[in-house]
Structure 1
Amino acid sequence: MTAFSIAAALALSACGGGGGGSDSGGTNTGSSSTPAATSSSAGNLQTSVPTATYTSGTAEASIFTQLNAYRSGMGVGLLKQDTMLDTSASAHALYLVDNFANGNITSVTHNEVSTLADYYEATPLSRARKAGVPATEWVGENAGVGLNLTTVDANATSCVGQYLDTVYHLQGATDIQETVGVGFQVNASQGTYGCVLDFGETTNVTGAPVDNGFYAAGGQQMATSANAVSPYPNETNVALTMHAESPNPAPDLASPGRPVMFRVNAANAGDVLTVTSFTLTANGSAVPARIIVPSAAMTGSTGATADVNNALFVGVVVLLPLAPLAANTTYTATFSGQRDGKPVSRTWNFTTGS
């Protein structure tokens, strides 16, 4: 395949989402459990984590650093390295990139087939358990394939960007997990990479873990009075378009802009974020956009559209521009709504790249 045809094939490569979706059905595994206890209103975010042991100058080290820097900018807590999840993520990254190269698979999947090359284990949860994580740990996964670039940092930015410039993968990469394992593998003959992030959650969890999901009341939680946004305040070099993902949050739009996310703590049964107004403006003009909410948030929301895949968490609202954003432009996002009937609002700016 030429570089152009490979790029076309990989344009729809990202699939699933750490707790935010499934391979194709789009079921919301991340919020399916009913919390057994009320979480603290003060939050328990990780503001510091041990130094990671990835070899300096590797894609894994850069991905870990870039992802934590982004989570810090959002204010959703840092992630600790988990070497067992490194093992499961690396195994699946190898499975993806090699089976893409040999034609055994044509789309990214969280599930592995035992008869295909580099099989490790069938699902994110079973792979993590094979690598040694406890049976009580909840595990979510983001998986993608891309073109191998000229530098380690460029590959890391490409991998992380696949997830941040989406709806469900953004939600999954910036959620309540506490640990991460990074897998990055290159197929030199095809000039492609496989990049997998496996996430772990162990604090305040109960019940049997579902595959590729988080326990809503556990992990690291923001304070109930806090909120988080992406792009985060004053972020620069923001992407212009949404990276294609499966499931597709807007299958009727040919080229939507980079999604804008607003998130609150929704740890307890009955927590819900509704939207009164969510706008994006630039140079005094409103950006045509769609406001996407979980079905549970339709009652009480104004001007919103229910998530077609039922994969958004009840604490998340997304503004999806109907067309790509303009380059080198400062945008102002304004949100107002209610969290469990209490008003919540925020206005912030971000600037797109070239």
Structure 2
Amino acid sequence: MKPKNELLATLVAGVALTACGGAWGDGGDMLAPTASTIVTSVPAATYVANSSEALAYETLNAERLQCGFGLLAQDIRLDQAAIGHLNYLAKNNVIGHFQKPGNAGFTGAELGDRAAAAGYDRKQVGETLSTVPFTEDADYAVRLILSAPYHALVALYGLRDVGLSWGSTAVGIRTLEMVFGLPENIAWQNAGKVLTYPCEGSAGVLASRGGEVPTPFPAEANAVWGQPILVNGAGDLRVAAASITGPGGSVAIKAFYGDGQTTDPNAWCRAGLACIIPVALATNTTYTATVSGTNAGAEFRSTFSFRTGAR
């Protein structure tokens, strides 16, 4: 997959304001190695025990490891970039990926600039922002990211490092800022096989949500959908068929984006990625998904069960 320079996806997280996610830095081609490079062990993070930062880090890594995407290591340089950007947002009462020179707390106009200022290689970096009301926690902020297809693609991408920050920004909301990175000359995480999110055993995923901008459904005002099934594979991935069933039978699919299927209107779900987006699901319910097609020149079929949470 080739990162998309400065492509933006904006997340509305249950409040009237928006937060942004899905920005890439300078980008460049990242060629998948032939063998698995999935990370299954990283040094212990230094976030304060029981803090919101620790909760966000642990939630995301648990979801990634469960589904085979590999762990992310905490990087204090990316923490610094995340903290600096969150401070900028708070001081200027704004939400977004970009900063304006001369504004209070300015640390860099773009994500790559802020990563470089913190001493990290700017070429392979990604960023998500998730805003939630003060009544919600960092676990919910992560799950909002993972239920928004374009945001989730960034959070599940094959980078190796992460830094994050959590705090108050605009009036009435708190924001989770996550910055992802790949050190120079290091291979990105690659399983050498098809991966899905959610996957077998995933639990607590959101039953319904909406409000991602750009929206996966540009022709539908105020679209709402259920937890997307995201499929990651080689560059020649073709998902030929997909289905989701629950206690009431088959679940309708609102959109099936990917090479060989409907063209994603925002061009994210393609070139090794497919996004199967169902109608809103029921809470506290187990669903079974099946996806099949070809990947790396071979046929595949994956069937797995996942469970929604209380909302």
- Superposition TM-score, scaled by structure 2 size: 0.87
Q: Read off the aligned partner of 2:150 and give its amino acid letter.
A: Y
Q: Deviations over 1:173-225 (max 9, x none)?
A: 011100000111225x93321211111112546xxxxxxxxxxxx411112xx
Larger CA deviation: 167-176 vs 137-146: 137-146
1:171 alignment partner in structure 2: 153
Q: How many residues align?
A: 296
Cα distance change, pair 250–14 in 1 and its aligned pair in 2 (3 A): farther
Contact 1:97 1:192 in 2 (8 A): no
Alignment pair present for 1:202 and 2:171? no
Cα distance change, pair 172–41 in 1 and its aligned pair in 2 (3 A): same
CA distance in 2, matches of 1:119, 1:203: 26
Alignment pair present for 1:248 and 2:215? yes
CA distance in 1, matches of 2:19, 2:228: 15
CA distance in 2, matches of 1:148, 1:8: 10
Which structure would you say has the larger RCO, counting Cα contacts within 8 Å and 6 or more residues apart? Answer: 1
1:193 alignment partner in structure 2: 174
2:188 alignment partner in structure 1: 219
CA distance in 1, matches of 2:119, 2:241: 46
Out of 190, 215, 227, the residue aligned to residue 258 of structure 1 is 227
CA distance in 2, matches of 1:230, 1:62: 20
1:81 alignment partner in structure 2: 74
Q: Deviations over 1:28-70 (max 9, x none)?
A: x86xx445x6x43221111100011112222111111111111
Cα distance change, pair 116–145 in 1 and its aligned pair in 2 (3 A): farther
Q: Deviations over 1:3-43 (max 9, x none)?
A: xxx95313xx2423154xx9xxxxxx86xx445x6x43221
SS in 2 for 1:317: strand
Out of 118, 128, 131, the residue aligned to residue 115 of structure 2 is 128
RMSD (CA atoms) = 2.3
Cα distance change, pair 292–244 in 1 and its aligned pair in 2 (3 A): same
SS in 1 for 2:81: helix
Cα distance change, pair 61–123 in 1 and its aligned pair in 2 (3 A): same
Alignment pair present for 1:288 and 2:274? no
CA distance in 2, matches of 1:146, 1:157: 10
CA distance in 2, matches of 1:131, 1:203: 15
Out of 313, 329, 332, the residue aligned to residue 288 of structure 2 is 332
Contact 1:279 1:286 in 2 (8 A): yes
Identity over aligned residues, as a percent? 31
Superposed, which structure 2 residues align to 1:303-342 within 5 Å?
Answer: 304-321=261-278, 323-342=279-298
1:96 alignment partner in structure 2: 89
1:209 alignment partner in structure 2: none
SS in 2 for 1:43: coil
CA distance in 2, matches of 1:351, 1:54: 29
CA distance in 1, matches of 2:289, 2:226: 14
CA distance in 1, matches of 2:295, 2:207: 29
Contact 1:241 1:255 in 2 (8 A): yes
CA distance in 2, matches of 1:8, 1:251: 20
Q: Read off the aligned partner of 1:130 and give its amino acid letter.
A: A
Residue 99 of structure 1 deviates from its aligned partner by 3.2
Q: Read off the aligned partner of 2:75 and give its amino acid letter.
A: D
1:208 alignment partner in structure 2: none
Residue 98 of structure 1 deviates from its aligned partner by 4.1
Alignment pair present for 1:278 and 2:242? yes
CA distance in 1, matches of 2:16, 2:196: 31
Higher strand share: 2
Q: Unpaired segments of 5 or more residues in structure 2? A: 1-12
Q: Unpaired segments of 5 or more residues in structure 1? A: 1-5, 23-28, 206-217, 299-303
Contact 1:240 1:326 in 2 (8 A): yes
Contact 1:97 1:194 in 2 (8 A): no
Q: Read off the aligned partner of 2:277 and give its amino acid letter.
A: L
Out of 224, 236, 240, the residue aligned to residue 203 of structure 2 is 236
SS in 1 for 2:225: coil
Superposed, which structure 2 residues align to 1:24-43 within 5 Å?
Answer: 33-35=28-30, 39-43=32-36
Residue 92 of structure 1 deviates from its aligned partner by 1.2
